[in-house]
Amino acid sequence: MLLWAAVAQAGEWRGYLGLGAGMALDRYSEWDAKGAAINVYFGVEAPIGLSVGVYAEAAETWGQKFEDLQQSSSSRVQLDYRQYGLEVRFRGFRERMISPWVSLRLARSTSTPQTPDEFGQLVRQEFQALGGAVRFGLDWWLGMNWGITGATSWQWCDVRYEKESVRECAKPINTLLLGPTVRF
């Protein structure tokens, strides 16, 4: 009964739609891949600031150069992924002009990385994986309904690769995204 009373006084239910564009950074592997990333989030938020939504993201990154001995040329490592999944967010100060939030995401990821095999040759493979992420962001509201979102995330297992007969996840990938958000 007390929880219901707190929810009733906290405010109204809201919907959010956000788009973002920015960078994906592979900061922890030996490949140092960097590239572009885009995302979309659509969610419903309870009056206490907890929201659940669907999330999609895609990224293309390029990293360290490798010499292709068969073709007398060089190519770069490429880590790319496309993902979709569910995200749970908790938003603080939802009635203020600047509203911070933190989220957890679980997503289905498809990656087709081009990484070196045991002979140092770049090989493209396709993987399906279940990835997770922790995200932090700030919404800056320009009015009642329109805002700008800046967010960063640390993602695990969105990119997989095969190395010495073992399939493993790449190191965490960091994304930095900025874009418009609408609440309704």
Express each pLDDT in 40-75 by its tens digit.
Answer: 999 999 999 999 999 999 999 888 777 666 666 677
CATH architecture for residues 2-183:
Beta Barrel (2.40)
Cβ-Cβ contacts under 8 Å for 67 (sequence gap 6 or more): 73, 74, 120
pLDDT at position 3, please? 46
Is the model more confident about 32 or about 176? 176
Q: How does pLDDT run across 109-139, given as a tens digit for each residue?
A: 998 888 777 777 778 888 888 889 999 999 9
Residue 181 pLDDT level (bands cut at 50, 70, 90): very high
- Give the mean pLDDT of the chain: 86
**pTM of the predicted structure, to 2 decimals:** 0.84
Give the residue extent of every domain in the chain. 2-183
